[in-house]
Amino acid sequence: MNVEAYFLRQAQTLVGSLGRIARHPFASAMTMAVIAIGLALPLCLQLLLQNAVAMTSGWNDAFELSVYLQKAASPARAEAIAHTLRQRDDVATVRLVTAAEALAEFREYSGFGQALDALSDNPLPITLIVTPSLAASSPEGTTALKTAIAAISDVGAVQIDSDWVKRLVAILELLRRVVWLTGGLLGLGVLLIIGNTIRLDVLNRRAEIEVMKLVGATDRFARRPFLWAGIWYGLGGGLLAVGLVALGVAILAGPVGRLAALYGSGFHLAGLTWQTAGATILGAAALGWAGAWLAASHHIRGINPS
């Protein structure tokens, strides 16, 4: 077959299959809507994940370490330890809280002011608030730092308030897997939906395929318009899915912003990026092609003139 004729034929088939879809607007729209919902669900989860990651990424200060010195340690010794810590690569800042300051702070926030008055002397040790450097601001980095600090003499206890951060990271990781799983399952669903739609198309055009085969059409030739139809269904569904998600984000962005503002946060709901939207639409088209290929190949092989 000559190349020019081949591409012209592809173009005609492409337009023809689009025309066929347009001639059954209701049925085609239904198919595309089902595909769109199948794709929108994992897309929403992905967006949720993306926003959760963005929201928690500003929470590095959660990795602060509270270093409680032994009661016997003198303020001079505390200064010395603070100085040593500041030399370390994995430490960003060290703030020294004297026993008196600690007591004042405690008195202010705890509500135990009067109880504290009953004590004859200050029970609180000198405290060093250590912030790890950015590079060490990970669960592993802070744990290593904690071990190092605990080994210094006159250090009583080191406390990291990062357990919940570890849990959050674990939850996000879990969520990421859930996104992949649902994405995979629903992608498979989309493949099957398109396959089934194409199967019905093929069976509806059985007579036509028989005639084509009688005059010498190969299975490939008979399959071609169905592959295009699959691509169109996928593209339509993908576009609709992106539209649905964008609409959802638009509806939620305002309330989310106001809620964040009430918590004193400047957080904004991030919508779909162009890359994600593009990948979704192209991925849907590819799924459409694949579903159509599977269904059309199988059913066209079974149609023979009689």
Partner 1 sequence: MIRFDSVFKRYPTGREALAGVSFQIERGEMAFLTGPSGAGKSSILKLIALIERPSRGSVVIGDQNTAALKTRAIPQFRRRIGVVFQDHKLLPDRPVADNVALPLIIAGVPEREIDKRVRAALDQVNLLGKEKSLPLELSTGEQQRVGIARAIVAKPPLVIADEPTGNLDPALALEIMRLFKRLNDVGVTIVIATHDVHLIEQFPSRRIVLGEGRIDAITPPGARASTPNAGVTP
Q: Does 221 bind partner 1 (CB under 8 A)?
A: yes
C-alpha to C-alpha distance for 122 and 111, rounded to whole angstroms: 16
Contact criterion met (CB below 8 Å) for 154 and 69: yes
Please report whether residue 6 would count as binding partner 1 according to CB under 8 A. Answer: yes
The answer to whether residue 218 forms part of the interface with partner 1 (CB under 8 A) is: yes
- Interface residue with partner 1 among 88, 107, 166, 213 (CB under 8 A) is 213
- Bridge partners for 94 per DSSP: 130
Q: Are 281 and 238 in contact (CB under 8 A)?
A: yes
Q: Which of 52, 169, 217, 260 binds partner 1 (CB under 8 A)?
A: 217
Residue 19 in the binding site for partner 1 (CB under 8 A): no
- Rounded alpha-carbon distances, angstroms, from residue 239 to 181, 218, 231, 293: 22, 33, 12, 21
Q: Which residues pair with 155 in a beta bridge?
A: 69
Residue with smaller CB distance to partner 1, 212 or 295: 212
Q: What angle do CA 131, 132, 135 make, to 5 degrees?
A: 145
- Which stretch, 25-33, 92-100, 169-177, 202-210, contacts partner 1 (CB under 8 A)? 202-210
* Closest to partner 1 by CB, 2 or 153: 2
Q: Which residue has the tokens 């990026």?
A: 273
For partner 1, the closer of residues 111 and 216 by Cβ is 216
In the complex, the smallest distance separating the C-beta of residue 20 from partner 1, rounded to whole angstroms, is 9
Q: Is 88 exposed, middle or buried (0-12, 13-18, 19+ CB in 10 A)?
A: middle
User: Locate tokens 């779909």: which residue?
Assistant: 272
Distance set, CA 117 to CA 9, 37, 124 (Å):
93, 64, 13
**Quick one: 173 or 208, whose CB is closer to partner 1?**
208
* Residue with Cβ nearer partner 1 (105 or 208): 208
CB of 199 to partner 1, least distance (A): 20
Stretch that binds partner 1, among 68-76, 207-215, 280-288, 289-297 (CB under 8 A): 207-215
**Three-class SS of 203-225:** HHCHHHHHHHHHCCCCHHHHHHH
Of 40-48, 70-78, 89-97, 298-306, which part binds partner 1 (CB under 8 A)? 298-306
Does position 211 interact with partner 1 (CB under 8 A)? The reply is yes
Residues that bind partner 1 (CB under 8 A): 1-2, 4-6, 8-9, 207-208, 210-218, 221, 304-306
